[in-house]
Amino acid sequence: ISGYLPEEMGEVEVRKVVEEVRKEWDKGSAGQKAGATPAAGRLIGAAMKKLGGRADGKLVAKIVNSLSF
């Protein structure tokens, strides 16, 4: 079954994507709003969407949680 799945990205590659998403996220209107999901959760969701299943969600969460907000 692993032959059908996309190859997972390494931590360095995932960190670059997360940082890129955060920069885009900080520039746009996607910042935290009253009553919205906490910032880390929103960033994890945006990063996972951009990564398209090529990274483990636990790794993405670990990287996002290591960033300061």
pLDDT at 4 over 70: yes
Name the residue type at position 59.
L
* Residue 53: count of CB within 10 angstroms of its CB: 11
Phi-psi region of 37 (alpha: psi -120 to 50; beta: other; left: phi over 0): beta
- pTM value is 0.76
State the residue for tokens 């929103």: 42
Q: What is the pLDDT of residues 18-41, one digit of tens each?
A: 999 999 877 775 555 544 457 889
Closest CA to 64 of 29, 32, 40: 40
E-strand ranges in the chain read none
